[in-house]
Amino acid sequence: MSNELGLYIHIPFCRSKCSYCHFASGVFPGSLIEPYFGALRREMETLPDLLHKLNANGKSTSDWVVDTVFVGGGTPSLVDEQEIGRTLEWIRSAFRLAPVPEITLEVNPGTLTGDKLEGYREAGVNRISLGVQTFQDHLLKGVGRSHSVADAISTIEMCRRGGIDNLNLDLIAGLPGQTEDDWRENLSRVAAVSPEHLSLYLLEIHEDAHLGRSEGRADASLPDEDLVAVWYEESVDWLGKAGWEQYEISNFCKPGRQSRHNLKYWTDQPFIGFGCGAHSYWSGVRWGNERDPFRYVELLEGGEPATTFRSEITPRQHLEELMFLGLRLNAGLDLSRCRQILGFDPLERFSRELSELVQGQLIEIEGDRMKLTRKGRLFSNEVFVQFMQ
């Protein structure tokens, strides 16, 4: 294991609850912000102890180099720059930061001001991830987003004026009522903005989101799934020609602008999350926090840990996860690293499944890399299921 570490900080506050959202987020009273940040710092102060318990190669906190920090949510940009600044300051005091760490802040359009942005930048934020989702007001309204297209455009302009040269836009395909023309318009807006990074998600409907419940689904006219798959395919081609390389099923970037933090999730690297609902991963062990922010504060104020589950993944689960996550990357799964981590060869373990997938032109194996083919990316769920037994 290298000594690089990613940190995730979860800020649950939002202006409205979007109908498709299943994250640990919501509309909470402003009076919760201060105690929440107090609890966050209490939780962060337990980190040296935690690393010690994890027997982190006998290293102390200051031996670890934090090379990525992701402040996500929720809507972190609802919180003022001083709170975010104090949190990042704590990280600097406890860890060595990499010479050029990637520090991302998630922003929702309409919640940023010039002063806030300047404060975030001074605190070290050098990457903004903006939840644009789509460029049509009626579609934004339909899923309960609290921003307008004009908000998105002015926030993008504010970021650029404020010196942000590493900007991600999130877009969602398959929103209720979205048409092919809407999707095409999204791509041409992307071309005009020219962000360094683009996350292109297909709408997923979770049963614990409003859209996943029968009353939410009843009024939603969702576009046909096959049609959305075609939009996705066309977008991959279009973005490739326009200078964005796809490096993961849902992620595209200008050369060298991959999200260093998200790459950790897909390549079995350690990351530690703080805040309600935050998850952590450390060398085969996963754990997660209480999702309710009030209860999270209560636990930390009472001197108790916020962790609600902890599981050591079995070699079998570890193999499935490595396959599932590694195959999402265009570079594919690093088979030699897999052998090193697992102590056995995935090619042998899944020989029957793999020979069928290779024959069906869904997977290709080149040297020490196993990748989804283009067809395999389209049918990725069918491929992944072969490795889950």
Binding region for ligand SF4 (CB under 6 A): 14, 17-18, 21, 23, 25, 73-75, 108, 131
Query: 366 vs 184, 378, 387, CA distance in Å?
Result: 35, 20, 19
Q: How far is the CB of 129 from ligand SF4 (least distance, A)?
A: 11
Q: Which residue's CB is nearer to ligand SF4, number 6 or number 73?
A: 73
Q: How far is the CB of 342 from ligand SF4 (least distance, A)?
A: 35
Q: How far is the CB of 207 from ligand SF4 (least distance, A)?
A: 16
Q: How far is the CB of 142 from ligand SF4 (least distance, A)?
A: 13
- Contact between 89 and 56 under an 8 Å Cβ cutoff? The reply is no
- Contact between 290 and 306 under an 8 Å Cβ cutoff? The reply is yes
How far is C-alpha 231 from the geometric centre of its chain's CA atoms?
Answer: 22
Helix (H, G, I), strand (E, B) or coil at 312: strand
Q: How far is the CB of 75 from ligand SF4 (least distance, A)?
A: 5
Q: Which residue's CB is nearer to ligand SF4, number 25 or number 258?
A: 25
Q: How far is the CB of 76 from ligand SF4 (least distance, A)?
A: 10
Closest by alpha carbon to 222, among 266, 275, 174, 185? 174
Classify strands 369-372 and 333-334 as parallel, antiparallel or unpaired.
antiparallel
Q: How far is the CB of 224 from ligand SF4 (least distance, A)?
A: 23
Q: Which residue's CB is nearer to ligand SF4, number 25 or number 87?
A: 25
Q: Which residue's CB is nearer to ligand SF4, number 23 or number 90?
A: 23
Q: Which residue's CB is nearer to ligand SF4, number 68 or number 108?
A: 108
Q: Which residue's CB is nearer to ligand SF4, number 147 or number 197?
A: 147
Nearest-angstrom CA–CA distance, 174 and 221: 10
Q: Which residue is nearest to ligand SF4 (CB)?
A: 21
Nearest-angstrom CA–CA distance, 268 and 284: 8
Nearest-angstrom CA–CA distance, 211 and 201: 16
Closest by alpha carbon to 47, among 260, 242, 273? 273
Nearest-angstrom CA–CA distance, 197 and 177: 26
Beta-strand ranges (E) seen in 39-109 are: 65-73, 96-107
Token pair listed for 214 = 């029968």
What is the residue whose two structure tokens read 């902890």? Answer: 310
Nearest-angstrom CA–CA distance, 220 and 181: 19
Q: Which residue's CB is nearer to ligand SF4, number 21 or number 40?
A: 21
